[in-house]
Amino acid sequence: EVQLVESGGGLVQPGRSLRLSCTASGFTFGDYAMSWLRQAPGKGLEWVGFIRSKAYGGTTEYAASVKGRFTISRDDSKSIAYLQMNSLKTEDTAVYYCSRYSSGWSSPNWGQGTLVTVSS
Amino acid sequence: QSALTQPASVSGSPGQSITISCTGTSSDVGVYNYVSWYQQHPGKAPKLMIYEVSNRPSGVSNRFSGSKSGNTASLTISGLQAEDEADYYCSSYTSSSTLVFGGGTKLTVL
């Protein structure tokens, strides 16, 4: 069974940094692209970015709203994807989800989410 | 990349059919068959209902179907049931190698 578990959320002050982790199990992690998405309180889903598998260069893509501030990385030996968030803003407050990509850039598997609150 | 356009809300009675539209551009929905639909109940993670415009993952009811015409994709739910009441989101791959979501549609089963 595919499982994704996010961790690392919490309360952080504006301008500070936070790193989220997504620990995967139940599949060959290194074979899949992994994505981060978020949902602000009472708002819709927003794609944050993804990292391709090593077979496709392990490269990353980001939404314009986080480009230059957020970095996605992966450790295939530990089956973990990371989201490094720098220069956090109050508008980054959201539940952050990780997902595994499958056919047609769809996400059949999601974690339970971790809440990040950016506030002074 | 602007968000895909969905109606804020739709409603229907049990047993009826409803359709939710998702309008993009020639840089996303119009050029790729990489449109997905997600169902989200309050406090829960999203659930994939349709991928690649019209394909259903294993375990998803055949009451859910997807289609696309030009820059607009659609999700149709037939035989509405109370448990279908949820928020629905479309997403599409884009020519910038990014993903974009719609703003979401709240489905109310009357």
Mean pLDDT per block of 10 residues along chain A (120 residues) reads 97 98 97 97 96 96 97 98 98 98 91 97
Mean residue pLDDT of chain B comes to 96
Cα(A60)–Cα(A47) distance, rounded to whole angstroms? 13
| CB-CB under 8 Å, A47 with B99 | yes
Task: Count Cβ atoms within 10 A of the Cβ of residue A8 and give its class: 0-12 exposed, 13-18 middle, 19 or more buried.
Answer: middle
Taking a contact as any Cβ pair under 8 Å apart, which residues of chain A between 101 and 120 contact chain B? 102-108, 110-113
State residue A14's pLDDT score. 98
Cα(A73)–Cα(A61) distance, rounded to whole angstroms? 11
- Strands of the A80-85 sheet, one edge to the other: A3-7, A18-25, A80-85, A70-75
| CB-CB under 8 Å, A44 with B103 | yes
Is B52 touching A (CB cutoff 8 A)?
Answer: yes
Say which of A44, A64, A97 has its CB closest to residue B89: A44
State residue A73's pLDDT score. 98
The token pair that represents B35 in the structure block: 């449109």
Is A97 touching B (CB cutoff 8 A)?
Answer: yes
Say which of A47, A97, A106 has its CB closest to residue B98: A47
Among B99, B89, B92, which residue's Cα sits nearest to residue B70? B92
| CB-CB under 8 Å, B40 with A47 | no
Q: Residue B104 above 80 pLDDT?
A: yes
Q: How confident is the model at residue B2 (pLDDT cuts 50, 70, 90)?
A: confident
Among A79, A21, A88, A107, which residue's Cα sits nearest to residue B48? A107
State residue A18's pLDDT score. 98
Is A50 touching B (CB cutoff 8 A)?
Answer: yes
Q: How far is A49 from chain B (nearest CA, A)?
A: 7
| CB-CB under 8 Å, B104 with A64 | no
Cα(A19)–Cα(B39) distance, rounded to whole angstroms? 28
Q: Which residue of B has its CA nearest to A114?
A: B45
Residue A32 CA: distances (Å) to CA of A112, B50, B75: 19, 19, 27
B35-74 in b/e form (b: 16+ CB < 10 A) is bbbbbbeeeebbbbbbbbbbebbeebeeebbbebeebbbb
The radius of gyration computed from the CA coordinates of chain A, to the nearest angstrom, equals: 13
State residue A103's pLDDT score. 86
Cα(B110)–Cα(A43) distance, rounded to whole angstroms? 23
Q: Which residues contact A110 (CB under 8 A, 6 or more apart)?
A: A4, A97, A98, A99, B45, B46, B47
Q: Residue B43 above 80 pLDDT?
A: yes
Per-position DSSP letters for B22-33, written without gaps between them: EE--TTTTTT-S
B40 contact residues in A (CB cutoff 8 A) = 45
Among A19, A35, A21, A33, which residue's Cα sits nearest to residue A69? A19
Phi then psi for residue A35, to 5 deg, are: -125, 155
State residue A24's pLDDT score. 98
Tally C-beta pairs within 8 A across A and B: 67
